[in-house]
Amino acid sequence: MNIKLNDNFNNIKETYLFSDIAKKVNAYKEANPEASVIRMGIGDVTLPLPKPCVDALISASNEMGIKETFRGYPPEYGYDFLRDAISGHYTKLGVDIASSEVFVSDGAKSDLGNLPDILGDNPIIIPDPVYPVYVDSNLMSGRKITLVSGNEANGFLPEPPKDYNGASAIIYICSPNNPTGAVYTAEGLKAWVDFALATGSLIIFDSAYEAFISEDLPHTIYEIEGAKSCAIEVSSFSKFAGFTGTRCGWTIVPEELESNGVKLSKFWARRQATKFNGVSYPVQRAAEASLSEEGLKALSSNIEYYKHNAMLMADLFRSKGIYFTGGKNSPYIWLKCPGNMGGWEFFDYMLTRFGIVGTPGEGFGEAGNGFFRLTAFNSLENTEEAIRRLGDL
């Protein structure tokens, strides 16, 4: 073949993180067939869908089998019933989002990866460490990225760059953060909103873990004054209601968002109408059910379960004097590898000494070197067993 490929793909780091982890774990299990291994590296939910969601899936699927209630292509931006329910969710958070500003998707990852379609060649600012999709999707379209480092001094909540040249940029913020579990306060977010407004920049705010917040911290960027003029918010039913395998999310593009007189919502609507054919009717009904009173009750008991696991781990590391972020308002614990170990060295130590699998921090960016992510998505029993084993850490 002699076609031109998108050479930008050569600039994306091959990440063998999860396959390297699987290889190491398999080799360990082969050498130690008796060993019981507890996997705390997964970022996927493990509890089943809340019952109101399953009921809605079944009843909507039944409707699809009856001539009178069968539905074909769904609307590209989502059914009104779900856009209204998501708008209602924001009302409960004290924020005014019109249904027409809600774009239903098959998950946050697709929207985060697709948003560069409507954006030109702007500088990109991304905190490090963070969910790798922001960096990779921008590298794929040949963008130049500036990383702002999280570290112990800023509690893994980097502030806007002080010596910035003022160019309008695209800024990614994830709060609560994956992998660090760190959550911006209203003041911390306001600094980014003020920076975006001052430089004519756009914030892409990822609130996928919003439901894990229990303290008085912002659940949505729109709690910050001025954010509707500078921020798109991308969110998901994945961690909120256990939809990682069911697939549904949403993106808010406020009407106020304009660049040089062009509405961003117009471009996003055009992009979605051209390249996306919507989310299936039963899945949208299930998503709607998750936002009902019964659905919210059921899903918050799942979230409390994970948060209890996170709290147990946080107590352990606190008692050992090990620096960590997260563990509260998040399913993630991000800890500093003891004894100045590197992430992979600590991975081997955790596996061979305690039979516990986590994720080395370098998998989430350079600033993750020497750190390690554990997740609260395992069962309570396994989490308690892991904590018992780590008594000797």
Pick one of 236, 280, 302, 383: the residue that binds ligand PLP (CB under 6 A): 236
Q: Minimum Å distance from CB 180 to ligand PLP?
A: 11
Give the three-class secondary structure for 359: strand
Pick one of 108, 224, 335, 337: the residue that binds ligand PLP (CB under 6 A): 108
Length of the chain: 393
C-alpha 103/C-alpha 98 separation (Å) is 11
Contact present, 139 and 11 (Cβ < 8 Å)? yes
**Interface with ligand PLP, residue 249, by CB under 6 A:** yes
Q: Minimum Å distance from CB 69 to ligand PLP?
A: 28
**Interface with ligand PLP, residue 373, by CB under 6 A:** no
**Interface with ligand PLP, residue 46, by CB under 6 A:** no
Stretch that binds ligand PLP, among 15-23, 66-74, 102-110, 145-153 (CB under 6 A): 102-110
Q: Minimum Å distance from CB 120 to ligand PLP?
A: 24
Stretch that binds ligand PLP, among 51-59, 77-85, 101-109, 357-365 (CB under 6 A): 101-109
Other Cβ atoms less than 10 A from the Cβ of 290: the count is: 25
Give the three-class secondary structure for 43: coil
Give 127's DSSP letter: E
Nearer to ligand PLP, 45 or 193 (CB): 45
Stretch that binds ligand PLP, among 12-20, 74-82, 103-111, 300-308 (CB under 6 A): 103-111
For 320, phi then psi, to 5°, come to -95, 0
Cα distances (angstroms) measured from residue 315 to each of 35, 144, 151: 26, 40, 21
Angle at 145 between CA 176 and CA 238, to 5 degrees: 30
**Interface with ligand PLP, residue 178, by CB under 6 A:** yes
Cα distances (angstroms) measured from residue 263 to each of 115, 120, 229, 270, 277: 14, 14, 11, 11, 22
Nearer to ligand PLP, 85 or 108 (CB): 108
Q: Minimum Å distance from CB 92 to ligand PLP?
A: 20
Stretch that binds ligand PLP, among 146-154, 236-244, 334-342, 374-382 (CB under 6 A): 236-244
| Residue 260 region by backbone torsions, left for phi larger than 0, else alpha for psi between -120 and 50, else beta | left
Q: By CB under 6 A, what part of segment 116-175 binds ligand PLP? A: 131, 174
Nearer to ligand PLP, 202 or 283 (CB): 283
C-alpha 139/C-alpha 142 separation (Å) is 5
C-alpha 328/C-alpha 183 separation (Å) is 9
Contact footprint for ligand PLP (CB under 6 A): 43, 107-109, 131, 174, 178, 206, 208, 236, 238, 244, 249
